[in-house]
Structure 1
């Protein structure tokens, strides 16, 4: 049995008729940019998250940049960000004029902590980007207690909770990505900014539309970053399914445990008080590179995501001189993503486990 790393088709297949009807309605209505679908989706997502404001933008990277700018981050400032995460979490910082400062992560949760962030703080620190890595919520309240505004990058964690609160609504500002492989993914690019702060929300709305509030007067140098009506219409169909899909991801995680996989490799540990909706199922093992080759040969999706962490990426070298992050370097070498989707069941979990066991036995025999 082949088990893909992602399966974006099966979960949405029963919703195709509803999606097609919503797309047709947008085409018939003739409004395609910042129209009624975007406004309705923003309101519905805010209600789901228990947040005051949602500002929909073109993608998750823009969401981080605009969120930082709305917090007043600019030239001369520093923003702390983990080095074990997707490139966009740090790439979004220099366009504000600020400098990224890389911090280490916890080896078990794979997330930043108050301790790893504190080690990177300086008098110039203006904000922290805390990533809910692979769907596991970062301890955002503990980081906020350091007294620095937190942008919660929840791109991989829609539908997760920490202490009963939903991710993207844990920090001063939250950001989401609706890239197709995410827990809540559209059929292209999309993103959102989440906040309780009226002033931050108003600035974010201004920045996303060329720095203008009225399309006539331009107060700031902004961005052309807007979620389009078609994607918003699709997301309105998918949002009511998110909790059910997240429950499916948690069930898939449990199915791996039942299949005995955790006897062979070590799963990412949940943050204390969290209910992770695993956007990715990532494990740790000294044999990660072996499995990255052996599993696809057996029809099992597998991938190392961040083999070269951010503080060792060429484009970010100007901000990483002399930075040593031992836990990040170890995780970069030893992590591996294996199949995860809302419909992954016991049979697929057993297939993945059997393939891992066979590959490790082969290594041991060699």
Structure 2
């Protein structure tokens, strides 16, 4: 169980500062981020000074030390603007940083966590491959023992922050899956290690400014100190734990994006006119706003409940997947309705709901597709029932 190191009063200050930063510094520059496909350096510097690169890293390692219940409140604020902002420091706090926090040796934590928390080091989570996405068991990247070293060979795909990463958290197969486990280990590989090659920046449908790329490992040699936790058998569990926690965060991010789409819809409906009448006076438009509001409220409640269940340890399997499934699908529906409320204007570049529509589509794909979440939820419900029946 994670213990809160940040008091409620202190957290409200952090949350208020983040909300102010997002809405007054980032929102007015969304078009700049889209046009230039990057988050401006001054916004990055501000995020670093605020501690956002390490908000979920424990205080002993230089972070703010927010627990998952506080994390989701912050994520709902970060989701209110271009998702590239959160992506810039998301892997440091989330799936990459949490692998080190949960499974790293004391030496590994001492070496890497403070520079990760400060933003001096950008960590990247290198799991996904062609043929092995939401389910890591299909992994083909190999790590072969060679004397006192490991030699890593393989290719990774769609790796967030790869073009700017200083450290890759690399998942590789050390042996075929057997009764002892899946045979997947995790390695810390600095980006400047010989044999590491980062491909061209991916051209994506949305999330401009959030960079992804392929990463190839060719005869990459690392020592035993690079093996997370000092054990070959930590890999799969590290991946699953980090992904499960990350799914609650992504669900919260989706709620934030949906809230922005709702706010844009209400503001437009209240002022845009058709035949001299504000379109918000029309009952069919009101019905769309009502559906958006219901979705956002349900998602927010679900995210908070999933975070509570994670904190208490009551449910770290079904709730994260159920929350990610519902909230990311909900955000897609709310964004679609937002475009509909705006009519033709909603299809125009430069209108916030057009950006949101494209951006939230990815939330249903990464850190486990909606289909994978359905399988996780359904299979665990059945397994629980079968255990109870014995």
Structure 2 length normalisation: TM-score?
A: 0.23
